[in-house]
Amino acid sequence: MEGGHRLSLQTFNRVIEMNEMILLKLGEMVLKGLNRRSFEDKLQANIYRRLNNLGQFRVYTRQSTTYVEPMTDECDMDGAWEALTKVFGVVGLSRARACAKDKNAILSAAREYLDDKLSTARTFKVETKRADKSFPMTSIQLSQYVGGELDELYPHLTVDVHHPELTVHVEVRDYAAFVHADPEPGAGGLPVGINGRAVSLLSGGIDSPVSSWMIAKRGVALEMVHFFSYPYTSNEAKEKVLELARLLTPWCGRLTVHVVPFTAIQEELRSSCPQELFTLVMRRFMMRISERVARRCGAKALVTGECLGQVASQTMEAMAVTGAVVELPVLRPVVGMDKEEIVKISRKIGAYNTSILPYEDCCTVFTPRHPRLRPTREELETAEQSLDIEAMVQSAVDGIERIQV
């Protein structure tokens, strides 16, 4: 990373000789105060990791824009573009041509770089942002000049300042000008890791991958916990969960899945607990074990895919008694969402088709016919009195398998 935020004149001289680069527009980070630099540094570090296998790139930030510059012709720009659309902290992306800060150089760059789009569009306009106020033309004057010349060069084009098919964007910045077409939306949110680490309970259904994605979008790095009840759940079910974790990595970065052996606990609960409380007691054990994992990996919160009223164990009372056994905050990103909203996000992030594969998970094993909807803490504590909770939790923690995806 070259100076992160400060660039030499020599650097920009090389930039304007380049064929193409990617401009990333930052989101709410630009509203940060004295800690804004830490957000930008975290974003740049995340970008470098995502581009590590795609070639040698230079990444730097100036004037609320992050520049991704290929250093060699071997850089995979298409792969970089695809990777950067999934980097949290970026609200917009543009593939751009850099050029000298001269009106004729800008016109030439627009004509050469956007020729395909200019040749096929029917209406257009030019928008200019003049961050460098020393540039001799105003934004309106430069837009009028470039737009007028392009209108003559492409006779089929008509200027439409309200609803154009193509907008030619011109940005005049400190050391160079940039020309690009309409930016595409980025992932939004905040850079992963800037808001600490959490442990997410990953079941294999639709909700938990979405909740993991949503909390990662708020800048939280994740460790995943999955409860595996072999032979009641199959190895295929375990592989399904690992695949869901892999599908999240383009957004969240590398993930560790902590696979918890849960069979012994479920068998003990089936023989010792009232049937109508089985799911709730089971979930309390899940929370205890997840908190142990969180303490071990330095996480400061737990994340679940609970959605209010979706199933019997997700009433307000049920959430209260299951969360009561841990000290860490429990984050529930999808708690107020309809199922259709959750499914929409699941499809967007590419998890839906895997989530609906018909494999059992531990939450569907030994499901009571008539679960308690309005449990109290007292009756859950009474149901657990005969259990050696500490020994059961520790045995499960000791048997955890850690898998990196």
Q: Which domains does the chain have, with CATH numbers?
A: 9-188 (3.30.2130.30), 197-404 (3.40.50.620)
* Torsion angle in degrees (nearest 10) through CA of 129, 130, 132, 136: 160
Residue 296 and residue 141: Cα distance in Å, rounded?
60
User: Helix (H, G, I), strand (E, B), or coil: what is residue 225?
Assistant: strand
Task: Name residue 158's beta-bridge partners.
Answer: 123
Low-confidence ranges of the chain (pLDDT < 50): 1-7
The per-residue pLDDT for range 120-177, each reduced to its tens digit, is 999 999 999 999 999 999 999 999 999 999 999 999 999 999 999 999 999 999 889 9
CA 114 vs CA 18, 118, 336, 362: distances in Å: 16, 6, 44, 54
The pLDDT of residue 11 is 52
Q: Give the span between the Cα atoms of 328 and 350, in whole angstroms.
A: 30
Give buried/exposed letters for 266-305 (b at 16+ CB in 10 A, else e): bebbeeebeebbbbbbbbbbbbbbbbbbbeeeebebbbbb
Q: Residue 274 has which token pair?
A: 């009232």
Q: How far apart are CA 256 and CA 88, in angstroms?
A: 19
Alpha carbons within 13 A on the beta-carbon side of 327: 5
Partner residues linked to 125 by β-bridges: 167
- Supply the pTM of this predicted model: 0.91
Separation between Cα atoms, residue 162 and residue 170, nearest integer Å: 17
| Structural contact between residues 298 and 197, judged by C-beta atoms closer than 8 angstroms | yes
**Rounded Cα–Cα distance for residues 292 and 102 (Å):** 61
Handedness of CA 362, 368, 369, 372 (dihedral sign): negative
Residue 181 contacts residue 124 (beta carbons within 8 Å): no
In which region does residue 61 sit, left (phi positive, over 0), alpha (psi from -120 to 50) or beta (all else)? beta
Tens-place pLDDT, residues 266-305: 999 999 999 999 999 999 999 999 999 999 999 999 999 9
Nearest-CA neighbor of 70 among 80, 82, 58, 60? 58
